[in-house]
Structure 1
Amino acid sequence: MPPTSTSDPATAAGTPSGAPNANPARMLLGVIVGATVLVIVMLCAFALPAVNGGPHGVPLGVAGPPQATAAIQTRLPADAWDVRVYPDPQSLQNAIKQREVLGGLAVGADGVTVYTAGAGGQQVTAAITALGTGMATQQQLKATVKDLVPFPVDDPRGAGFTAAALPMIIGGVMPAILLLRLFPGHANLRRRLAGVIAFALIAGASVAAVLQYGFGSLNGNYWLTALGLSLGMAALAIPFLALESLFGMPGLGLGAAVMILLGNPLSGMAGPYWLPSGWATLGQLLPPGASGSLVRANAFFDGTGAGTPALILGAWVLVGLLAILIADRRAARGSRTAAAAAA
């Protein structure tokens, strides 16, 4: 009698023994559902801030006769406009340049003068302009619009500056992945960290050069802007490297997803006061939003308002470095334990 075959049908068919048989229909359904959920999440992340966009607590200065300023304060909704009264138009202009307010209305005998700071946010600037010209039309007065802090002539809408958030996020992920491929393992952790820091310095200087001298999108001191961009790059790349060191590639992927799905749409590159207050605050606490605010302050307002975003970015760098130190100590301790067990 021939011997009875004991081979597993799954093995004979090419499936490893002990592995569950794959169900093609179930796999296809999982891919479709997962991709659909991802699309919906991305849609919500990018569309909801735009749908709910509008003035939220925008600091607005007014100057003129007490009766006129009081009427403006009463008329404007408090949740949309934070109206502040100044004694004269010159004080109002100084407040705009010092970023105390984002724009203002000066009411005089010759009409209404609308003061804006275009570089402080295009959407808010448009809203203040529409508000001032609309009020002048209703009162049958002449409206004059003056942009005190405009974007450069080569990029009057600030398109280059506004579009910089997503490239910075991608630029923070890429070096971490490439350095992991080139220098894998715990022994190369410090080498990867040195590479990330060098990348941040070089990339920050390069991006600043392209935006300022290539596109004409930035003004101000180039080196100060470049240092701000380098700090922003480091605040992205170092935490990404720390997440990989602690949790592997899933940690790096999660960090990248958070920055793309939350950091980018909430960065407020077009003006943080156009986002709902809670979302705007969250966006400014994330590296893309803080980096955008730092570049805005350095490039257009002579550094006014740069302190807070610089501290936020510095905190991200410090937390990333501490996490990398923890990962380094943990891996070194594991290596000593393995060596002792082998001995």
Structure 2
Amino acid sequence: MTSIPPHHAANPDARRGVGLVLALAIGLSALLALFAWPAVHSAPRDLPIVLSGPPAATTGVKTALEQQHPGAFDVIVVTDEAAAIQRITDHDAYGAFVVTAHNVEVLTASARSATVAQLLGQTGATIAGAHRLPTTTRDVVPAPADDPRGVGIGVSMLPIAMGAVICAAASTFLIRTRRDRTLVAAGFAIVGGFAMTALLQFWLGTLDGNYVANACVVAFGVGAVSMTILGLESLIGPAGIGVGVLLMMLTGNALSGATTAPEMLPTGWGTAGQLLPVGAANTALRSTAFFDGHGAVRPLIVVGCWLLIGLALQFAAYLRRRATDDTAAPVDAEATGGAPHHLSQHPGHQPSAV
């Protein structure tokens, strides 16, 4: 037979290079779409707001809002300004329009979302202009003076999630047993949560409220991300780290609405983001920092569920490993002439880590 000349044989490096180029192009395109598409299509969708005033005025304003901004606002009509403020401080609404015979007052909560506060101010001016009335704006729950646009709490979600991912990934390579990895992740969640919260609250001034409560929320979120990634790695191997990074850090941040509001994302995306640890932790942190914990229960339940999912995945991996060892033990004993498994091993052999 005539052998194929080397220059006619397929080049393994060339195949790998083409595959790498295609994989990176597809992956980066998908990542760009994940972050850019929601931002480009940012607009209010069922944004909860409050409307107060005489029945004739509130009916007219509500109709005008539905006609000019269909689907943008979920309007709640209340009796007076005090009830409107209560809805805002209870974390039930982003703001309010209080219409009187002499004025249209716009109530905002920039601590919850500076973007929505600006949007409501513009909408209120339009309403006042249609009724030929002056308009005033009052920030009921303002962002801290050191961070008036609330930028810090939004952008901090990415490095917080990244820290949790790095801790989980590093522990899988540096720590031998799964039990110790879990303890390391728990320790980092507590220490890192309190450290990062101190940085945000006392140095950057981007958080108000009770420091311990804020730190516990951050630690809870970090722990949920780390434990989930450890669980995925325990169950499916190193690929689980990649799945965890894609789900927890990349998708979680893109859909969190942390820099605007979940209701500003395309329909369904904001809701999905609030079912992931990053989005839920951001909402809970804003609640404890600026709203005395109002509105924190639901997102904390979400974060807690992910923490339990991570622990459950690790336990499932442990049970699978134990079942595999129990199945292999009789076979090893038979192969060594019936000697017990642990006696047939080489004296220097170390049992596999659990």
Fold match by TM threshold 0.5: yes
Count of aligned positions:
325
CA contact (8 A) 1:122 1:271 kept: no
- Alignment pair present for 1:291 and 2:260: no
Q: What residue is the counterpart of 1:228 in the other structure?
A: 217
SS in 1 for 2:195: helix
Distance in 1 (alpha carbons) for counterparts of 2:93 and 2:85: 9
Write the letter of the residue equivalent to 1:122: A
Aligned to 1:243: 232
2:129 to 104, 121, 137: 137
Task: Please say if 1:113 is aligned against 2:132.
Answer: no
Q: What percent identity do the matched residue pairs reach?
A: 36
Q: Which runs of 5+ in 2 are unaligned?
A: 334-354
Amino acid at match of 2:85: Q
Give 1:328's aligned residue: 318
Among residues 56, 60, 63, which one is paired with 2:45 in the alignment?
56
How many Å apart are 1:21 and its aligned residue?
5.2
After TM superposition, list the pairs within 5 Å mapping 1:127-206 onto structure 2: 127-184=119-176, 188-206=177-195
Asked if the contact 2:144/2:208 (under 8 Å) is kept, the reply is yes
Please report the RMSD computed on the Cα atoms of aligned residues, expressed in angstroms: 1.8
Runs of 4 or more, structure 1, over 4 Å off, are none
Is 1:314 the equivalent of 2:304?
Answer: yes
Q: Residue 39 of structure 2 aligns to which amino acid in structure 1?
A: A
Deviations 1:296-341 (A, max 9, x none): 1100100001100111111111111111111112112222333332
Q: For residues 137 and 248 of structure 2, what CA distance do their matches in structure 1 show?
A: 37
Q: Helix, strand or coil for the counterpart of 1:99?
A: coil
Aligned residue for 1:95?
Answer: 87
Partner of 1:301: 291
Cα distance, 1:123 vs structure 2: 1.8
Q: Which runs of structure 2 are paired with 1:17-28 in the superposition (5 Å)?
A: 22-28=11-17
Report the TM-score when normalising by structure 2.
0.88
Letter in 2 for 1:75: A
Cα pair 2:92 2:295 within 8 Å, conserved: no
SS at match of 1:84: strand
Once structures 1 and 2 are overlaid, which stretch shifts more, 235-244 or 31-40? 31-40
SS of 2:91's partner is coil
2: CA distance between counterparts of 1:231 and 1:302?
A: 18
Which residue of 50, 60, 65 maps to 2:54?
65
Are the equivalent residues in 2 in contact too, given 1:123–1:274 (CA < 8 A)?
Answer: no
Paired residue secondary structure (2:15): helix
Among 203, 213, 225, which residue is 1:214 paired with? 203
CA–CA distance in 1 between the matches of 2:220 and 2:101?
A: 48
8 A contact 2:105–2:135 mirrored in 1: yes
Report if aligned partners of 1:232, 1:288 keep a CA contact under 8 Å in 2.
yes
Query: In structure 2, what is the Cα distance between the partners aligned to 1:25 and 1:158?
Result: 49
**SS, match of residue 268 in structure 2:** helix
* Contact 2:104–2:124 (CA under 8 A) maintained in structure 1: yes
- Whether contact under 8 Å (1:103, 1:117) holds in the other structure is yes
By how many angstroms is 1:27 displaced?
Answer: 2.8
Residue 251 of structure 2 corresponds to which residue in structure 1? 262
Aligned to 1:16: none
In structure 1, what residue type is equivalent to 2:307? V
Aligned to 1:4: none
